[in-house]
Structure 1
Amino acid sequence: MEKVDENIEIAVLGGVGFNSYQEFESQPIHTPYGEVTAYLTTIKGKTIAVIPRHAGENHIPPHRINYRANIWAVHSVGAERVISTNSVGSMRGHPVGSFVVLDDFIDFTRNRPSTFYDDRTVHVDVSEPYCPEIRTALRAALEKQGLSYTEGIYACTEGPRFETRAEIRMMSQFADVVGMTGVPEVNLAKELSLCYASLAIITNQACGMTTQKLTADEVTDVVGKAQDAIFEIISDTIENIPKTRNCRCRFAKEGACL
């Protein structure tokens, strides 16, 4: 496992339209699953590694993202906390541009490597998938900024297509928002006993919720306009996260291995 020299405390995983990392110092991280480029900076006195999910010569589609390499890279640089940003569609009529602090998820993905343990049986605990300490810090940051937010359940689909009306009708019975990148990221973080939480931004109403056609352009447009707000939320969250972990995330793998 390759370690970098910096004392990195927190990693930020950015999604579509997340461009705040571009002026940061780049650091290649070699993992058993491939190379990842992290971008290092200091926020509120803490060293942060930003890992853009879709970075590459071309935009990497959600079903081809190397989730294992990204999460292993977080572990490699010594970070114990992960703040994820995710673009989502609303199945509950949330206003476009508002935020959701995720509290649970449902996995509808099919073809993604979802564990580090292909040759062992590891039943990792996801009874509390999103770190309560980071979630508390996210809520405090949103309230400080006076931004509208709710909490809710995330449904993750395989992509890269948008969902059908029938799929949204089904998923809306169980979840509040839908996206394509939150799983298996959250599971992999648990397998490495990391603290992980997600700030989701509503970029559109899910299929069938309006009469308008869904487009990728509206997703990038909404996130692009919210860049400054997202950066301020993340900055305040980083400042508010306790230095010492007191949550159960660090015990997620205890008793999980057969």
Structure 2
Amino acid sequence: MEKAAENVEIAVLGGVGFNSYMEFESQPVHTPYGEVTAYLTLLKGKRIALIPRHAGKNHIPPHKINYRANIWAVHALGARSVISTNSVGSMRGHSVGSFVVLDDFIDFTRNRPSTFYDDTTVHVDVSEPYCPEISEALRNALGKQGISYTTGIYACTEGPRFETRAEIRMMSQFADVVGMTGVPEVILAKELSLCYASLAIVTNQACGMTSQKLTADEVTEVVGKAQDAIFEIIVDTIENIQETRNCRCRFAKEGACL
């Protein structure tokens, strides 16, 4: 795969915490799955690419995001490390505005292409889906700022509707938080041997956890209030991601092809 001249080191997917990304240097990245616009900048002496997940003429809904194009673009730009930001609902009573560093996932999506390999069989290893080194850097950044956080399992649903009470009761038996954008991103990152970790912000209590109606407005409000904190967490994490990878992420596809 041809690498872009920018030699990007780290990609941030999601855009939460980067209100001013439109001021960054924009670059179109052509992929087999469509064109992606990446926003390039320097942070802590490292070349960073920001790819806003929902960016488009209108806000792209989670089930329509071109996940394959986004992850392919990350790799094409030369990045080996990815920090994802995700908004989630809590199924375990996490306080709104708190953070969760994801350590596993359950996939309840239905209609999303979840592999780059449509014509060959590749059983990629996801026994450790989130990079332990980036996850540790995220936890250290949160701790340094005295911000409340936990680790937990992420359930990804198809969307764009919120989940039902019955679905939340079921999923809460297995997972801690629920969202709509983390899968298949994490799987696709594994197929390209990228290091990928996710910082999730709790924007609401999941359906049935309170008597209140769920709205998109509350999600937007919580994320807006947390912009500055998220930015500082990500910047600190970027500073502490090591150039040499000692994790197993780079070996995820070894022995996977039939």
Shorter-chain TM range is over 0.9
The aligned residue for residue 143 of structure 1 is 143
The aligned residue for residue 104 of structure 2 is 104
Structure 1 residue 15: deviation in Å?
A: 5.2
Q: Could you tell me how far apart the structure 1 residues matched to 2:164 and 2:107 are?
A: 16
Identity %: 88
Q: Could you tell me how far apart the structure 2 residues matched to 1:141 and 1:29 are?
A: 30
Contact map agreement 2:194 2:250 (CA 8 A) in 1: yes
2:203 aligns to what SS in structure 1? strand
The aligned residue for residue 46 of structure 1 is 46
2:147 aligns to what SS in structure 1? coil
Structure 1 residue 27: deviation in Å?
A: 0.6
Structure 1 residue 23: deviation in Å?
A: 1.4
Matched residue type, 1:33: Y
The aligned residue for residue 238 of structure 2 is 238
* Structure 1 gap ranges (5+): none
The aligned residue for residue 71 of structure 1 is 71
Q: Could you tell me how far apart the structure 1 residues matched to 2:209 and 2:19 are?
A: 29
The C-alpha deviation readout for 1:195-226, integer Å capped at 9, x for no partner, is 00000000000000000000001111111111
The C-alpha deviation readout for 1:175-212, integer Å capped at 9, x for no partner, is 00000000000000000000000000000000000000
Structure 1 residue 242: deviation in Å?
A: 1.1
The aligned residue for residue 227 of structure 1 is 227
The aligned residue for residue 34 of structure 2 is 34
Structure 1 residue 21: deviation in Å?
A: 1.6
The equivalences for 1:3-14 within 5 A come to 3-14=3-14
Contact map agreement 2:17 2:228 (CA 8 A) in 1: no
Matched residue type, 2:147: L
1:11 aligns to what SS in structure 2? strand
Q: Could you tell me how far apart the structure 2 residues matched to 1:13 and 1:232 are?
A: 16
- Number of aligned residues: 258
Structure 1 residue 3: deviation in Å?
A: 3.1
The verdict on how the C-alpha distance between 1:17 and 1:248 changes in structure 2, with shifts beyond 3 A counting, is: closer
The aligned residue for residue 200 of structure 1 is 200
Structure 1 residue 5: deviation in Å?
A: 1.5
1:196 aligns to what SS in structure 2? strand
Matched residue type, 2:94: H
Contact map agreement 2:16 2:230 (CA 8 A) in 1: no
The verdict on how the C-alpha distance between 1:173 and 1:18 changes in structure 2, with shifts beyond 3 A counting, is: farther
Structure 1 residue 4: deviation in Å?
A: 2.2
2:155 aligns to what SS in structure 1? strand
Q: Could you tell me how far apart the structure 2 residues matched to 1:142 and 1:157 are?
A: 27
The aligned residue for residue 114 of structure 1 is 114
Deviating runs (4+, > 4 A) in structure 1?
15-18
Contact map agreement 1:3 1:77 (CA 8 A) in 2: yes
The aligned residue for residue 59 of structure 1 is 59
Matched residue type, 2:45: G
RMSD: 1.0
Contact map agreement 2:18 2:231 (CA 8 A) in 1: no
Q: Could you tell me how far apart the structure 2 residues matched to 1:188 and 1:43 are?
A: 25
1:102 aligns to what SS in structure 2? strand
The verdict on how the C-alpha distance between 1:47 and 1:192 changes in structure 2, with shifts beyond 3 A counting, is: same
Matched residue type, 2:219: V
The aligned residue for residue 155 of structure 1 is 155
Contact map agreement 2:91 2:176 (CA 8 A) in 1: yes
The C-alpha deviation readout for 1:117-146, integer Å capped at 9, x for no partner, is 000000000000000000000000000111
Contact map agreement 2:63 2:159 (CA 8 A) in 1: yes
Structure 1 residue 20: deviation in Å?
A: 3.9
Contact map agreement 1:18 1:224 (CA 8 A) in 2: no
* Structure 2 gap ranges (5+): none
1:8 aligns to what SS in structure 2? coil
Contact map agreement 1:102 1:130 (CA 8 A) in 2: yes
The C-alpha deviation readout for 1:44-83, integer Å capped at 9, x for no partner, is 1100000000000000000000000000000000000000
The equivalences for 1:207-222 within 5 A come to 207-222=207-222
